Amino acid sequence: MTQHVFTSDDQLAFAKLSGDYNPLHLDPVLARRLLFGRQVVHGLHALLWCLDYHLKSRTQPLALRTVKANFQAGIGVGQTVCCLVTPQDEYQAAIQLEADNTPAVWIDITWRPLRHHWLDTLPKTSPEPEKCRQRSIEEVAAASGNISLYFNGDRAGGLFPNLIRVLPPMQLAALLATTRLVGMECPGYHSIYSSLNLTFFPNNAGGSNLNYHVTDCNTRLALVSMDVEAPVLKGQVKAFLRPKPQRQAAFTDIRRQVESEEFSAQRALIVGGSRGLGEVTAKLLAAGGADVILTYYRGRQDAQRIVEEIVSQGGNADCLPLNVLEPLRGLPGRIANRSTPLYLYYFATPYIFGAAKGKFSSQRFAAFSEYYVTGFLRTVQAVADSTTGLQKVFYPSSAAIDELPLDMGEYAAAKMAGEIVCDFLQKAHPGLAIHKPRLPRVATDQTASLLPVSNQEPVLVLLGNLRYLRQM
């Protein structure tokens, strides 16, 4: 068994080698709004890394015979990945990858010995533009075509020194082309590599393209099956069309549901207001006349977009950077010395899904607690111990405490701990009112799913709770 932590630099190096520049893998700010909630390692990057590790002791030339892989869960950049190899015989192995103790990739692979490698004359760089195609599911269903093969041995050797030493470059080029196919061509921008099942030919049959043809497109599952063929391989690749980032209601639509002055008697500090429930809360309060300050950690452009949307329609809004995991220096001064009471709305959160079912991770619980307990407490104390005039706090808890899904135990436990912190703060600050509703599952980036799920409308869920807090 060996362990590895993929970095953003690793990701960029693999993108340059493979040509797969999908932002899911390279843009940490955008990736936080996509299905996995963070920057995700290319599935094929993880596959080739563990194969490189397994073949480190081999000296003779080899050729792949079959490669089967199921990319079961996303591997986040910065996660600890464990590679578990079970050799079947000298030329066959079963490999499992785990990310923070959660099964992520299953691989079955066979190869055969070679006397020598055949010569490949592939170009080192792609003649194609580095741009993700954005296709609708209807366009994907009818898609077919080809992409050019290329291979840079120097770049490959930097990432996979053992593979470049023992495997034919043409096989590696064709395998790398499958991730470029999925991430850049079909489905393209909105894609997740699901699985591959490839058989490799013993000889280079000539040619320099990977041809593909969509054979099935399951619209309910958003699952695409493609036949692929190159000079040295043929088989099947499957990919999902991932859901797009959740768009919340526009300010112009929200203000129709709010009385123009019903929230005017408050300054609203919305921690984590650049998207999701924080974004909706900012728009609801501003529509009701509140003076809104929303904070962001990474989503500066998202926060500025919301502020501009509110201000352009006559509302009052501003934004500022804030990381609740660090000391909140300067925050009280930014919001102090004003005449109207301060309301704090706390939506700071990490990605909430992705845990293994039926397993409780103390590490994962600690990560949630950093936001829902320590960060929350730090924020309230920073504001309450100043001249801000803090009067009321909104702490969104979760119905997961009552429902307790088997893959959300750590999240639910941390939220419940946050509820206890709320009770403590109310006793420590008798004049402070805290509302901690257990909110149902609502439509946000966090709750996006490949399968259809029932999500409630955030505006309706939040508006009643905001009115309740106002009256406390």
Question: What is the CATH number for 111?
Answer: 3.10.129.10
pLDDT at residue 446 in the model: 84
Report if residue 55 sits inside a domain.
yes
Same domain flag for 171 and 259: no
Report if residue 246 sits inside a domain.
no
Burial of 256 (0-12, 13-18, 19+ CB in 10 A): exposed
Ramachandran region, residue 387 (left: φ > 0; alpha: ψ -120 to 50; beta: rest): alpha
The secondary structure of 213-274 as a DSSP string is EEEEEETTTTEEEEEEEETTEEEEEEEEEPPPPPPPPPHHHHGGGS-TTTTTT-EEEEET-S
Report the 10 Å Cβ neighbour count for 103.
Answer: 14
Same domain flag for 175 and 302: no
Number of domains in the chain: 2
Rounded to whole angstroms, how far apart are CA atoms 195 and 47? 11
- Residue range 30-38: mean pLDDT, rounded: 84
Residue 229: is its pLDDT beyond 80? yes
Same domain flag for 46 and 144: yes
pLDDT at residue 71 in the model: 93
**Size of the chain in residues:** 472
Same domain flag for 217 and 335: no
Rounded to whole angstroms, how far apart are CA atoms 173 and 169? 6
Report if residue 460 sits inside a domain.
yes
- Residue range 136-146: mean pLDDT, rounded: 92
Same domain flag for 281 and 171: no
Least trusted range by pLDDT, from 22-36, 195-209, 326-340, 355-369: 326-340
Report if residue 326 sits inside a domain.
yes
Same domain flag for 190 and 99: yes
Residue 41: is its pLDDT beyond 70? yes
- Residue range 4-33: mean pLDDT, rounded: 92
pTM here?
Answer: 0.85
Phi, then psi, of 424 in degrees rounded to 5: -60, -45
Least trusted range by pLDDT, from 80-94, 206-220, 397-411, 443-457: 443-457
Domain boundary among 222, 241, 260: 241
Same domain flag for 13 and 48: yes
* CATH assignment at residue 337: 3.40.50.720
Same domain flag for 106 and 132: yes
308 confidence band (pLDDT: 50, 70, 90): very high
pLDDT at residue 338 in the model: 60
Question: Is there a contact between 303 and 310 (Cβ–Cβ < 8 Å)?
Answer: no
Same domain flag for 402 and 290: yes
Same domain flag for 265 and 393: yes
- Residue range 157-169: mean pLDDT, rounded: 91
Same domain flag for 219 and 303: no
Report if residue 403 sits inside a domain.
yes
Residue 97: is its pLDDT beyond 90? yes
Same domain flag for 345 and 384: yes
pLDDT at residue 120 in the model: 67
Residue 43: is its pLDDT beyond 80? yes
Using DSSP's 3-state secondary structure scheme, residue 108 falls into strand
pLDDT at residue 300 in the model: 92
259-302: per-residue pLDDT in tens?
989 999 899 999 999 999 999 999 999 999 999 999 999 889 99
Cα angle, residue 436 at apex, residues 434 and 442 outer, rounded to 5°: 140
Residue 462: is its pLDDT beyond 70? yes
- Residue range 243-268: mean pLDDT, rounded: 91
- Percentage of the chain exceeding pLDDT 90: 62
203 confidence band (pLDDT: 50, 70, 90): low
219 confidence band (pLDDT: 50, 70, 90): confident
Range of the domain at 218: 2-241
Residue 439: is its pLDDT beyond 70? yes
pLDDT at residue 204 in the model: 64
pLDDT at residue 237 in the model: 97
pLDDT at residue 387 in the model: 67
pLDDT at residue 128 in the model: 67
Domain boundary among 212, 241, 270: 241
- Residue range 395-418: mean pLDDT, rounded: 94
pLDDT at residue 437 in the model: 97
Domain boundary among 218, 241, 264: 241
